[in-house]
């Protein structure tokens, strides 16, 4: 990213994590399960947490990538364990929760980070119901199943924290071509906000991080994102670390609440702007190929 984009990112993106001492005090000895730990934000988060003394349970499908990362973090003096899991597979999620609780006794912090993104117009999706199935499985149903399996013990212990890596897209007017992704991310965001009220009664807390653009393999296929200001995965991981240590209910860019208010007040003009956006943009060749 060029200097101008970095400067712009400093204006529009939330950033900043706890100091090394605050982080260590907050996570040392904690058992933290991070989904989507093989790449991007999740990998960077696992690195930060393991270096600060947490026991990190790393979840994703890529067994070899997780094994290599676990070996690297362990060699550096950390505690990291690979749990190859497909969140879209109910039995795989159940096995993960059972193994994690049996082996480690508890999970103190759940970081719901794994995700699948699809940018494809509805016209290119008529014969692709599986796009909607996959996104809802990975972004909503799998994470719901995992929470159902881990939350009871947290509530019984009257201790625990759940971090959801959500997106600003769940709080601004839906953009064209993102129906599958946005619907599934919004589903979990709303689910957790509702559950949070009940969990707080038993001292289990939640943080929803409304992440703006992060330059990862997820955002890379969208050309406009490659040219836009955004966070590096390591910077996004600092936000996750802040969520774990300070436990705020939300972390979001400064402009998100004003944008929501404006969006409510000016729905008509904004929808007209979306019409223009739709006409000016197109599906990527990969998305259009069916």
Ligand X SMILES: NC(=O)c1ccc[n+]([C@@H]2O[C@H](COP(=O)([O-])OP(=O)(O)OC[C@H]3O[C@@H](n4cnc5c(N)ncnc54)[C@H](OP(=O)(O)O)[C@@H]3O)[C@@H](O)[C@H]2O)c1
**Which are the catalytic amino acids?**
181
C-alpha–C-alpha distance, residues 19 and 219, integer Å: 28
Q: Closer CB to ligand X, residue 30 or residue 117? A: 117
Using only C-alpha atoms, the chain has a radius of gyration, in whole angstroms, of 19
| Binding of residue 213 to ligand X (CB under 6 A) | yes
| Closest CB 157 distance from ligand X, rounded Å | 26
Phi-psi region of 40 (alpha: psi -120 to 50; beta: other; left: phi over 0): left
Q: How far are the Cα atoms of 71, 94, 115, 137, 272 from residue 217, in angstroms, in the given order?
A: 23, 28, 11, 20, 31
| Binding of residue 113 to ligand X (CB under 6 A) | yes
**Placement of tokens 């992440």 in the chain:** 211
| Binding of residue 167 to ligand X (CB under 6 A) | yes
Site for ligand X in 136-155 (CB under 6 A): 138
Q: How far are the Cα atoms of 88, 95, 153, 194, 281 from residue 98, in angstroms, in the given order?
A: 17, 5, 12, 25, 46
| Binding of residue 64 to ligand X (CB under 6 A) | no
| Closest CB 12 distance from ligand X, rounded Å | 13
| Closest CB 165 distance from ligand X, rounded Å | 4
Q: Closer CB to ligand X, residue 117 or residue 205? A: 117
Q: Which residues bind ligand X (CB under 6 A)?
A: 35-42, 60-62, 85-88, 113-117, 138, 165, 167, 185, 211, 213-214, 216-219
């Amino acid at each position: 990213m060029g200097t101008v984009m970095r400067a712009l990112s400093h204006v529009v993106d939330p950033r900043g994590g706890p100091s090394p001492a605050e982080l260590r005090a907050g996570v040392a000895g904690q058992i933290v399960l991070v989904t989507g730990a093989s790449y991007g934000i999740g990998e960077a988060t696992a690195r930060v947490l393991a270096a600060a003394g947490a026991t990190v349970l790393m979840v994703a499908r890529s067994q070899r990538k997780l094994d290599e990362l676990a070996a690297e973090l362990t060699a550096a003096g950390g505690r990291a364990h690979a749990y190859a899991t497909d969140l879209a597979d109910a039995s795989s999620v159940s096995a993960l929760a059972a193994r994690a609780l049996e082996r480690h006794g508890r999970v103190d912090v759940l970081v719901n980070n794994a995700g699948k993104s699809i940018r494809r117009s509805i016209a290119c999706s008529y014969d692709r119901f599986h796009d909607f199935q996959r996104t809802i499985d990975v972004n909503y149903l799998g994470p719901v199943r995992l929470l159902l399996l881990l939350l009871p013990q947290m509530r019984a212990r009257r201790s625990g924290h759940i971090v959801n890596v959500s997106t600003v897209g769940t709080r601004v007017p839906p953009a064209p071509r993102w129906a599958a992704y946005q619907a599934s991310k919004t589903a979990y965001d709303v689910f957790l906000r509702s559950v949070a009220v009940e969990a707080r009664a038993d001292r289990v807390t939640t943080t929803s991080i409304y992440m703006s653009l992060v330059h990862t393999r997820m955002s890379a296929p969208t050309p406009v994102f490659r040219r836009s200001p955004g966070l590096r995965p390591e910077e996004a991981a600092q936000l996750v670390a802040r969520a774990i240590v300070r436990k705020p209910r939300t972390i979001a860019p400064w402009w998100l609440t004003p944008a929501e208010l404006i969006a409510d007040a000016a729905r008509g003009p904004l929808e007209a702007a979306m019409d223009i956006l739709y006409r000016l943009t197109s599906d990527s060749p990969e998305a259009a190929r069916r």
